[in-house]
Every structure is written in C-alpha cells, then in structure tokens.
Amino acid sequence: MRTRFGGPAALALAVCLPCAPAQAETATETAAEDAALEDGTAAEDESTPESGWSLAPAPPAEAAAPPPSPASIEPAPGAYGPPPASPSSAIPNAETSDAAVPLTPSGHVPREYASHRGFFRQVGSIGTEMAIMTAYVGAQSIPKLFKPTAPFHFQNEGWFGKDTHNIGVDKLTHAFNTYLIAELLHYRLHRNTGGSEGDALTAGVLAAGLMALNEVSDAIEPDSGYSMQDITMNIAGATFSVLRNTVPGLKEKLAFKLEIIPNGQIYSHVGKKHYEQQRFMFSLKGAGFEALDRSPLKYLDLQVGYYASNFLNSDREKGIEPKRHLFVGVGLNLGELLFARSQSRVGRAAYSALDYLQVPYTSLRYDTTGRLGN
C-alpha cells in the first residue's frame, strides 16, 4: 500500500530532527538546576554584583551534585514527536496520519480509516483510466453507426445450445472481458486510493457498466440486439473479480484464464474463427497452497474449462454438427515457474499477465467428446 502522506511526513521529520538535540540539551540543564536547588547547592546571593567581582572571601566549596542520569530526564513536550494517542485515537484516520492502520484480511484499509470512502470519490481517483476505457468502448461501438442500423431492440441469443450462433463461447468472452476490465480498474483503484475498502466493488460496477454501455451498440444492429444473456455474463465476470479481490486467499488459489490456440491465420481478430480459437478455464493453482510450496506440484494448475468447435458457417453448410467440449486437465503455470522470483518490471508484468492467460500447448486435458490432448 502506498503511503499517502509520505512526502509531507518526511519533510516534517527533516525540519524537526535538527531541533530535537537542542531541546533535549535545554531539558538536561533545567533538570540539573532543579536537582541542585533541591540539594541546597545553588542558593542566590543578591548582594553579589552582576559582574561577579567581590572582596569578600569565597565560601568554602561544596561537592557538586552528580548530574542526573539520562533515564531520569524527562524530555521536553513535543521534542521527539506527538504525544501518546488517547484510546479513542489509537488507530488514526488514513486521511490525517501516516501511522499504520490494521488491514482487512483481503489487504484493504477499513472504510472508517480509508482515504477514499465513497463510490464517487474512488471513481474520481481513476479519472484518466476511466477516460481511456470509455474511449476504448467508444472505438468498438462508433463504427457501427456508419453501417445500416435498426431501432433499439432486444434479442434472445440463448446460452450454450448447439443451435446458438457461437455455442456459448461468445458468452464466456463477455464474462472474461468484463472480468479483465474489473481487474485492471481494481489494480489502479487499489494503488490510487491507498487500498481503500470497497475498491473491488467499485471496479466491478464500473466494468459491468462499461460493458452494458457497449451492448447498446448491438441493440441497433439489424442482425443483433440488446442481449440480457450478455449482460448476465458481464455481471458474472465482474462478480468473480470482486470475490477474487475480497475473499482472503482466493486470488492466490483460483484464476479465470483464457487460452488462444493458433489457427491457419495464427490469430483471427473477429468472427466465428476468433471464437473457435478460445479456451476458457478456471485454474486451481498449486502455488496458492502452502503445503505444496516445496513441491514441484506448485508449478501445476488443475483446470476445468470449456470451448466449442465445428460451428463455423462452412461447417454448418456441410452438415457437420457443432461440438461442445467441457474439459478437465492439468496445466503448467509458467508464471510461477519462470517469473515468481523476478524483481524486474518486465518479469513482474509477465507474471501478472500469465495469471490471466494460459500459454498454448502447456496443458493435458480430457473432454466430454473423449478427446485427450491439449
């Protein structure tokens, strides 16, 4: 968690520290004088001129009282920092102090001590990020305005049936895209708000809202429409992101990943060929369990996922029946294997990216069609 007031605190410390020894010295002299007065060794002599000259014989010297030990010297008020906190202020507000506050089990600053407590205040901390995301959504939607359009309408697209356009892969794409946007926004929110509690929910709401806005462009396409199935999957993806960032230990143990299998064009950007390349999975990560920390099993993930095949228009024209593949398998966690101990910026970025992407041909799976392989 970034310290919000680290700069001012360091400046105040730099100003106060040079003054502290002088104040401590003054306190020492004052304490010594008081001790001397108590012992009767420093009585005033009003008859002695201020110049210190006197013809009278000097009184016999008495042994000076020993200086008080450092432990007995009470420092001057405020010389070495603020006074002790009262019980009611033992845990200060994050807006007014740099002192440590207890974090929630998920690593957030409790709402009562957070610097950004409300939804709109948290949103305001990522204005630039939201502008970029909104521009991206607009870039995806605006071109549709220059094509033939229809009045706003809804359309029931179905779920994972063989009679649907993309056998449900497009629905998982909606869930994953919303999940990924929520994760990105949460990362920025967590950084910009100092880990204020509620940032995960704020990120999820924003991600689902952006995707719902994007769906409006489908609602004016003649061959499409505003799909409540898409909206439901958007909410599901955002919800998983919220859970992953609020349930202790879940982020370390469970990941929602996408794998893209190269085709004849290596990568297809849009259309059915794009959907046919995609494999979606939940990965239970061995690295998230302390019992496997010293075992090679920490580099393996248990996978449960889905993809579809034989649903291209050319396949349907040939009478080929679409196939749905629900699979289980074991995958190699390359992020943990290659970058878990990396201290470089590139290594950390690769580690994060591989928490969302599964590298092709690094898994062994068995699916509901009887296929064993990648």
Contact 230, 214 (CB under 8 A): no
Domain extent listing, the chain: 117-151+166-247, 249-374
Tokens of 361: 């041909």
pTM of the complete model: 0.73
Nearest to 214 by CA among 240, 178, 176, 183: 178
pLDDT in tens, 308-351: 999 999 999 999 999 999 999 999 999 999 999 999 999 999 99
Give the residue-averaged pLDDT of 238-243: 98
Q: CA 175: distance to chain centroid? A: 20
Residue 64: predicted pLDDT = 52
Give the residue-averaged pLDDT of 56-60: 50
pLDDT in tens, 137-183: 888 888 888 889 999 999 999 999 999 999 999 999 999 999 999 99
Residue 89: predicted pLDDT = 35
User: pLDDT at residue 96 above 60?
Assistant: no
CA dist 204 and 236 (Å) reads 10
Band of pLDDT at residue 35, cut at 50, 70 and 90 = very low
Which residues share a beta bridge with 323?
309
| Lookup result for tokens 């806005």 | 213
Q: CA 238: distance to chain centroid? A: 15
Tokens of 300: 């393996």
CA dist 60 and 74 (Å) reads 33
Q: Is 169 helix (H, G, I), strand (E, B) or coil?
A: helix
